[in-house]
Amino acid sequence: MNSEHLEASRAWGLIRDRGNLTPVEIEHLKGCSQCHGWFSTFVANARSAGFVIAFSIPPLNAYRNERAKGA
């Protein structure tokens, strides 16, 4: 994972290899609506295509996300 956002290659590797999210990735997905949105869609599409997903995506913490934006 780069210093900020989850990378598509990492997401594909997790799905393909039935990997697990790291604690850092989990925390990032809880607070980043951008990553949470595309990653959730990517995982849903993979699941629909027959891939077994070995991890669960944490819920997005909307309060934390809005606070970070300055709302």
Paired tokens of 49: 């295509």
What residue segments make up the domains of the chain, in order of their start? 8-69
What is the average pLDDT value for the chain, to the nearest integer? 89
In this prediction, residue 1 carries a pLDDT of: 45
Closest by CA position to 18, among listed 46, 39, 38, 37: 46
Q: Using one digit for the tens of pLDDT, what is the confidence trace for 28-59?
A: 999 999 999 999 999 999 999 999 999 999 99
DSSP, collapsed to helix, strand or coil, labels residue 25 as: helix
All residues at 6 or more sequence positions from 51 whose CB lies less than 8 Å from its CB, including other chains: 15, 16
Paired tokens of 39: 């990653």
